[in-house]
């Protein structure tokens, strides 16, 4: 089910109740919204909030730190230049980084449901039970409601040994992939795959 975030006023969710400490993850280009990482203390994990700087309303998201603590730099955010979408990349464990993308549908912030693109990559690697390391890095918003994810998927040694025994086709050893996705409003599913292509690590930053 599509996860939608209804704007909740500070009367219902006072910022002081949600967290005692906070830091800004950046304001939208139009200065209407600000993303805030808040936590009960510096030793606790934080959660990402959307603050409407005009109305004063605060919308909690379901994106939060999964590893480290509030003081660690394990949460990064990027706004779309039109201020109607943003991406948040969060470190989940020592070996995983995950990206969430939210779009504004009228007055509701909607979290995108990514299609199972990782399964596509694992299939090309000859791995069918998941990868050990997953780094999902945001690559930027494009025109026509499209955006890029750079996904690094590394199988563990046991999976590599199994793929080496495959005879009917040769699995790829590529671990870095450029994934282009497109989002839709008021449509289910609200996100689809446009393209998946292998890229060398050296070209990652040049595409942002």
Residues 97-129: tens digit of each pLDDT: 999 999 999 889 999 999 999 999 999 999 887
Per-residue pLDDT at 163:
87
Per-residue pLDDT at 94:
87
pLDDT(204) > 70: no
- Cα(162)–Cα(164) distance, integer angstroms: 5
Higher pLDDT, 178 or 73: 178
- Cα(101)–Cα(109) distance, integer angstroms: 10
pLDDT(1) > 60: no
Least Cα distance to 86 among 68, 99, 69 occurs for 99
CA 123 → CA 7, 120, 128, 135, 197, distances in Å? 40, 5, 6, 17, 13
Residue 60 contacts residue 8 (beta carbons within 8 Å): yes
pLDDT(86) > 60: yes
Residue 76 contacts residue 105 (beta carbons within 8 Å): no
Top mean pLDDT of 65-69, 123-127, 144-148, 202-206 is at 144-148
CATH fold for domain 1-70+103-111: Double Stranded RNA Binding Domain (3.30.160)
pLDDT(202) > 70: no
- Cα(132)–Cα(129) distance, integer angstroms: 10
Mean pLDDT computed over every residue of the chain: 87
Q: Locate CATH 3.30.160 in the chain.
A: 1-70+103-111
Mean pLDDT of 193-205: 77
Task: Please report the beta strands in 53-107, taking only residues with DSSP state E, as ranges in sequence order.
Answer: 58-64, 75-79, 85-91, 96-105
Token couple for 155: 């199988």
pTM of the predicted model as reported, rounded to 2 decimal places: 0.84
Calculate what percentage of the chain has a pLDDT beyond 90: 66
Region of poorest pLDDT, from 24-33, 175-184, 192-201: 192-201
């Amino acid at each position: 089910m599509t996860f939608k975030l209804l704007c909740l006023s500070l009367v219902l969710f006072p910022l002081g109740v949600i967290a005692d400490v906070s830091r800004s993850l950046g304001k939208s280009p139009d200065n209407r919204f600000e993303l805030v990482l808040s936590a009960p203390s510096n030793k606790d994990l934080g959660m990402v909030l959307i603050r409407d700087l005009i109305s004063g309303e605060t919308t909690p998201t379901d994106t939060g730190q999964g590893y480290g603590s509030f003081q660690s730099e394990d949460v990064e955010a990027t706004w779309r230049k039109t201020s109607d979408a943003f991406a948040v990349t969060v470190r989940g464990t020592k070996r995983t980084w995950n990206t969430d993308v939210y779009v504004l549908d009228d007055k509701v912030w909607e979290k995108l449901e990514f299609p199972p693109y990782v399964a596509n990559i694992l299939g090309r690697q000859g791995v069918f039970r998941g990868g050990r390391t997953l780094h999902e890095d945001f690559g930027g918003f494009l025109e026509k409601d499209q955006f890029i994810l750079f996904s690094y998927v590394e199988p563990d040694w046991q999976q590599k040994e199994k793929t080496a025994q495959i005879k009917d086709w040769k699995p790829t050893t590529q671990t870095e992939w450029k994934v282009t996705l497109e989002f839709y409003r008021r449509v289910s599913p609200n996100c689809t795959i446009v393209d998946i292509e292998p890229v060398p690590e050296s070209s990652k930053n040049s595409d942002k």
